[in-house]
Structure 1
Amino acid sequence: MKNLEKTLKSIVENPKYIFRLSVQGVMVGIFAGLMVCLYRFLLSESEHILRNYLTIIQTNVVYIVLFFVFLAVLGLLIDWITKWEVDSSGSGIPQVYAEVKGHMEANWAKVLFSKIVTGVMTALGGLSLGPEGPSVQIGGMAGKGVARLFKGSKTDELRLILVGSAVGITAAFNAPLAGVLFVMEEINHGFDKTLIFIALVSAIVSDFISKSIFGQSTVLTFPINNIPLENYWILIVLGIVIGVIGYVYNIGMIKSSDFVNSLKIPSQLKFVAVFIISGVVALTIPQISDGGHFMMDMLGVAIPSLGVLVLLLVLKYLFSMFSFSSGAPGGIFLPILVLGAYIGAIFGSVVVPALGMGHVLIYKFIVISMAGFFAATVRSPITGIVLIAEMCGSTESLVAMIIVSLIAYVVPTILGNEPIYESLYDRLLLNKNREFVKKPSKHVLSEYVVPLDCDYINFKIKDIPFPKNAIVVSVIRNGKYIIPTEDFNIKYSDQVQILTDVNDYPYVREEIEELFGG
C-alpha cells in the first residue's frame, strides 16, 4: 500500500514530473499559439479581401459572375476537404469535447491543416461563422501533436489537448484567464490542479505571442460608464429578456441543423448552394456577412437607429443559423457575442432615454449583454464574465454582468433547454459515420470531484457501483493522497482518481459522471 502511495505521489508531486509538464505547457503555448495566430491572421485578411472585392464588383456583371463561380468552387472544395477529414466540419468545440471524453481519436495533423484551410474558405465566402470554435480545435490538436512528440501517457495527452484548447481562446481574444476557465467550465467539467497549472503556463506564453503579433490593445474599446444604483433593477429585466432570447437561439440553431441533416441533398450541391446564397447576402446585405467583426465595428463608430439595430439582429441570427446548419467549418462563438451586443444596444436604446440616463450608457448595456447572452446559450457564466472583462480591459462591469448572466443562465435552464455545445456534442456522437475504433491498450488516470449533491457521500467504496473495468487508485482529501480500502468512506469535495484502459475510458467516464452527478 505504501509503495502504491509513493508511486502516485511521484507521478503528481515529483518536481521532475512537474518540470516536464511545464516544458510541455510552454511548447503547447508556442506551437498552438502560432497556429491559432496564423488562423486569426488568415481569416482577417480573407474578410478584408472579400469586402474590398465587393466594393469593386457592384456594377460589373462580369466580376459578379466570376464571384459566384468562385463561390461554387469554394463549396466543392469544402465538400471534398470535409470528406477527406470529417473532423474538420462544424464548430470544433464538440469535437474536442468528444476527444477528451474518449469518443474520438482525431488525426491531429490532418485536422490542423484542414481546419485552417476550410476556415479561410468560409471567410472568403462570407458565411456567418466565427473563428473561435475552430481556434479551440486547432489549439487542442496542436496540444495533441506536442503530446505525441513527447510520447507521454494517455493521461498527459488528454491534458495537453485541453491545454491547447485554452490557448485557442487565449490567442483569439487576448484573454488567457477566460481560456483556462472555458476549458474547466465547458469542456473538462472538473477541477484538476495539474491541468490548471499547465494551462496557465501555456496561456501566458500564447498570450505573449498573440500580443506581439496583433498588439496589446483590448478587443473592445467601448466607453463604459456606471449605471446609477437606483436603476439596477433594470438589470433583472435585461437578464430575463436575454435568457428568453438565448432559449430561442439554441432551439433555432439545433432545429435548423436537424432539418438540414434530414434533407436528402448531395453534400456537393448543399455546399455550393450555401456559398451561392452567402454571395447573394454579401452583395445585398454586406453588414451581416462574416463572423461579425463588421457589425461590432459599426457599434464602435456610432449606435445605429433602433429600427436598424432590430433589423440587423434578426438578419444576423437567421444568416448565422443558415450558415451553421450547413455543416461548413466554423464556429458560433463570435456570432453569439455579436448578437449579445446588438441585444444590449436595442435594450439600451429603449431604456436609456426612458429612464433619463446618459446616451453613452448604451455601451454599458452592450458589454453586459454580451456576457449575458454567452451565459444563456453556452451556459458558462464565469467564462463569459471573465472573457468580456478581459476583452474590455476593465472590471468595472463585473457586478452588473454577474447579475445579468446569472438570470440569463437560469431562464433557459428552467425552460429545459440544453447548453448549445452539449446539444451539438450529443448530435456528433449520434452521427452514424462515427464508430469507436479500438486503440492499443493504455492506462488513463482520470480525476472526479465529489459534488455536494452526490448521492454517495459517506458511502463506502465497496457500496458505490463503480464500473467493473475501473479501479479507484487514490483519493485526494485536504491536499493529502490516500490509498483507499473497500471500507473507505467518500466525502464531499474528495478528488477521486480512477484508473482504466483507454478503450473503456469513454464508457467508464460516462458512468462515473452519472454516479457523481456530473
Structure 2
Amino acid sequence: MRALEKTLKSVVENPRYIFRLTVQGIMVGIFAGLMVCLYRFLLYGSEHVLREYLNVINGNLIYTILFFIALAVMGLLVDWLTKWEVDSAGSGIPQVYAEVKGHMEANWAKVLFSKIVSGVLTALGGLSLGPEGPSVQIGGMAGKGIAKLFKGSKTDELRLILVGSAVGITAAFNAPLAGVIFVFEEINHGFDKTLVFIALVSAIVSDFISKVIFGQSTALTFPIHNIPLESYWLLIILGILIGLLGYVYNVGMIRSSDMVANLKIPSWLKFVLVFLVSGVVALTIPEISDGGHFMMDMLDIAMPSLGVLMLLLVLKYLFSMFSFSSGAPGGIFLPILVLGAYIGAVFGSAVVPIFGFEHDLIYKFVVISMAGFFAATVRSPITGVVLIAEMCGSTESLIAMIIVSLIAYVVPTLLGNEPIYESLYDRLLLNKNREFVKKPSKHVLSEYLVPLDCNYINFKIKDVPFPKNAIVVSVIRNGKYIIPTEDFHIKYSDQIHVLTDVNDYPFVKEEIEELFGG
C-alpha cells in the first residue's frame, strides 16, 4: 500500500512532476500556438487570394475556365489527403473527443500536415467552413507530438492533447479563457486541477504568440449600447427564437451529412462537385463564400437592410450545410458565430425601429445572439459567453448574453436535440472503417469529479458498481490526498482517481461517466 501511495503521489502531488508537466505545457503552447497561427495565416491568405482572383475574372471566359479547373484539382487533392489520413476529414473536434476517450489513436504528424494543407485548399475553394474546429485538432495533435517527444505516460499524453486543444481556440480567437473553458465544458467533461493549471499556462503562452503575429486588437469592434432594463423581456423572445433556430441548424446539419454519406458516388467525384458548386457560389454570391469573415466585415462597415440580412442568413445556412456535409476538412465554429450574428442583426433591425431605440443598439443584439446561437447548437453556454466577451474585449453585455444563452440552451434540449458535436462524435464512431485496434499495455490514470446529483453519494466504494477492469486508487477530498479502503464513503465533490489499462480505458471511461452522470 505504501509503495502504491508513493507512486500515486509522484503523479498527483509531486512538485517535480507538476514542474515537468508545466514545462511540457509551455512547449505545447509554443508548438501548437505556432501551428495554429500558421494555419490561421494561410487561411487568411487563401481567402484574400480567392477574393482577388474573383475580381480579376470579371467575366473573362478563359480565367473562369481556369478557375473551375483549379477547383476540380483542389477537390481531387482534398479527396487524396482525406484518404491518406482519414482522421483529417471533417471538423476535427469530434476526432479529438474520440481520441481523449480512447476510441482513436491518430498519427499526429500526418494529421497536422493533412489538416493544414486540406484546410487551405477548402479556403481557396471558398467552402463555407471555419478554421476553429481544425485549429482544435491541430492544437491537440501538436500536444500529442510533444507528449511523444518526452515519452511520458498515456495519462500525460491525454492531458497534453487536451491542453493543445485549448491552444487551438486560444490562437484562433485570441481568447485564452474561452479555450480552457471549452476543453472542460465540451471535450473533457470533467475536472482535473493539474489539467486546469497546465492548460492556462499553455493558453497564455499561445495567446502571446498569437498577439505578436496578428496584433492585440479584439476580433469584434461593434459599438455596444445598453438595452433599457424595461425592455429586457425582448431577450426572452430572442432566446426562444435562437433556441428554435439552433434546433433547425443541428437537425439540418446532421440530416444533410447523413444524406451525403449515403450517396452512392465515389468520394473523389463528391469533392470535385462540391468545389465546383462552391465556385459557382463564389462567382454569383461571393458574400457567403468562405467561413464568414466577409459577412462579419459587412456588418462592421454598414448594417445592411432587413431584407438583405434575411437573405444572407438563409443562404449562408444552406451553403454551410452543403459545405460541411461533404466531409471536407473544416469546421462549423465560425459559421455558427456568423449565423448567430445575422440572427441578432435581423432581430435588432426589426425591433429597434418599432420601439424607437438607437440604431446602434442593433449591434448589441448581434453580439448577444452570437453567444446565444453557440449555446443553442454546441450546447456550451459558458464557453460561448466567455468567448464573445473576449472577442469584444468587454463584459458590458455579459448579463444579457447569459440570459439569452440559457434560454437558447434550454429550448433545443427540451425538444430532445443533441449538441452538434456529440451527434458528430456518435457518427464518427459508427464509421464501419473505424475498428478498435489493441494497443501495447499501458496504465492510464483518469480523474472523475463526483457531482451533486450522483446516485452513489454516501455509498461505500465496494458498493459502487465500478467496472471490473478498473481500480479506484486514490481520492482527493478537501485538498487532502486519501488512499481509500473498501469501506470508504464517497462524498460530493470528491476527485476520484481510477487506474486502468489503455485498452480498457475507452469503455471504463464511458461506464464511470454514466455512473456519475457525466
Q: TM-score range by the shorter chain?
A: over 0.9
The alignment status of 1:431 with 2:431, answered yes or no, reads yes
Is 1:178 the counterpart of 2:182 in the alignment?
no
Name 2:380's counterpart in structure 1: 380
Kindly state the Cα deviation for residue 454 of structure 1 after the two structures are TM-superposed: 1.2
For 2:84 and 2:315, the matched residues in 1 are separated by 33
Given residue 111 of structure 1, which amino acid in structure 2 is its aligned partner?
V
- Name 1:79's counterpart in structure 2: 79
Give 2:121's aligned amino acid: M
Tell me which residue corresponds to 1:329: 329
Where do residues 290-305 of structure 1 align in structure 2 (5 Å cutoff)? 290-305=290-305
- Do the aligned partners of 1:180 and 1:200 also contact (CA within 8 Å) in 2? yes
5 Å-filtered alignment, 1:92-241, equals 92-241=92-241
SS state at 1:91 partner: coil
Residues in 2 aligned to 1:232 and 1:44: alpha-carbon distance in whole angstroms: 38
Q: Are 2:489 and 1:489 aligned? A: yes
Partner of 2:401: 401
Length, aligned pairs only: 518
Structure-2 residue corresponding to 1:5: 5
CA distance in 1, matches of 2:423, 2:15: 41
1:350 is aligned to 350
**1:451-510 CA distances to partner (integer Å, 9 max, x unpaired)?**
111111111111111111000001111111111111111111111110000000000001
Deviation at 1:153, TM superposition (A): 0.4
Alignment match, 1:320:
320
CA deviation string 1:41-67 (max 9, x = no partner): 000000000000001112100000010
Q: Deviations over 1:261-304 (max 9, x none)?
A: 11111101100000000000000000000000000000000110
Q: Determine whether 1:307 maps to 2:307.
A: yes
Are the aligned partners of 1:274 and 1:323 in contact in 2 as well (CA < 8 Å)? yes
Q: Is the 8 A contact 1:371 1:384 kept in 2?
A: yes
- CA deviation after TM superposition for structure 1 residue 7, in Å: 2.9
C-alpha contact (below 8 Å) 1:58/1:283 kept by paired residues: no
Q: Find the aligned partners of 2:91 and 2:239 in 1 and give their Cα distance.
A: 27
How many angstroms does 1:4 deviate by? Answer: 2.8
Q: Which residue does the alignment assign to 1:14?
A: 14
1:60-103 CA distance string (max 9 Å, x none): 00000010000000011111110000001000000000000000
SS in 2 for 1:359: coil
Q: In structure 2, give the amino acid aligned to 1:274.
A: V
CA distance in 2, matches of 1:125, 1:313: 21
Cα displacement string for residues 230-261 of structure 1 (whole angstroms, at most 9, x for unaligned residues): 11111011000000000000000000000001
Q: Which residue of 1 aligns with 2:362?
A: 362
Q: Which whole-Å CA distance do the structure 2 matches of 1:9 and 1:503 have between them?
A: 24
Tell me the SS of whatever aligns to 1:140.
helix
Alpha-carbon separation, structure 1, partners of 2:515 and 2:75 = 45
Secondary structure of the structure 1 residue equivalent to 2:272: helix
Please tell me whether residue 27 in structure 1 is matched to residue 5 in structure 2.
no
Q: Secondary structure at the match of 2:497?
A: strand
Q: What's the counterpart of residue 451 of structure 1?
A: 451
Report the equivalent of 1:476. 476
Take 1:475 and 1:20, find their aligned partners in 2: how far apart are those partners? Answer: 23
Q: CA RMSD in A?
A: 0.7
Partner of 2:261: 261
Partner SS state of residue 218, structure 1:
coil
Q: Deviations over 1:315-341 (max 9, x none)?
A: 000000000000000000000000000
Counterpart Cα distance in 2 of 1:29 and 1:455: 39
Which blocks of at least 5 consecutive residues in structure 1 are unaligned?
none
| Misfit runs of 4+, over 6 Å | none
Q: For the residues of structure 1 that align with 2:289 and 2:305, how far apart are their CA atoms?
A: 20
Q: Distance in 2 between matches of 1:479 and 1:374?
A: 35
Give the letter aligned to residue 303 of structure 2.
Answer: I
Residue 9 (structure 1) shift: 2.1
For the Cα contact (< 8 Å) 1:473–1:483, is it kept in 2? yes
2-structure distance, mates of 1:231, 1:351: 11
Contact residue 135 and residue 168 of structure 1 kept, 8 A: yes
**In structure 1, distance between residues paired with 2:71 and 2:59:** 18
In 2, are the aligned partners of 1:5 and 1:481 still within 8 Å (CA)?
Answer: no
Provide the residue aligned with 1:463 in structure 2: 463
Residue matched to 2:411 = 411
Kindly provide the CA deviation profile for residues 346-376 of structure 1, in whole angstroms up to 9, marking residues without a partner as x.
0000111111110000000000000000000
| TM-aligned CA deviation for residue 18 of structure 1 | 1.1
* CA displacement 1:176-227 (0-9 Å, x = unmatched): 0000000010000011100010000000000000000000000000010111
Aligned-partner SS, 2:360:
helix
Which amino acid in 2 is paired with 1:327?
Answer: G
* Percent of residue pairs bearing the same amino acid type: 86
What are the superposed Cα offsets for residues 137-179 of structure 1, whole Å, 9 maximum, x if unpaired? 0000000000000000000000000000000000000000000
TM-score (normalised: structure 1) = 0.99
Equivalent residue of 1:466, what SS? coil
Could you tell me how far apart the structure 2 residues matched to 1:72 and 1:184 are? 40
SS in structure 2 opposite 1:474?
strand
Counterpart in 1 of 2:54?
54
Distance in 2, Cα, partners of 1:7 & 1:506: 23
SS at match of 2:474: strand
Matched, 1:289 2:289: yes
Structure 2 CA distance, aligned partners of 1:6 and 1:497?
14
Is 1:446–1:498's contact at 8 Å kept on the other side of the alignment?
yes
CA distance in 1, matches of 2:332, 2:378: 10
1:3 Cα deviation after fit: 3.9
| Residue in structure 2 matched with residue 506 of structure 1 by the alignment | 506
Residue 441 of structure 1 is matched in structure 2 by 441
Alpha-carbon distance between aligned partners in 2 of 1:59 and 1:316, rounded to the nearest angstrom: 24
The TM-score normalised by the length of structure 2 is 0.99
SS where residue 447 of structure 2 aligns? Answer: strand
Matched letter for residue 85 of structure 2 = E
- Residue 497 of structure 1: SS of its match in structure 2? strand
**Residues of 2 paired with 1:277 and 1:58: CA distance?**
18
Structure 2: gaps (5+ residues): none
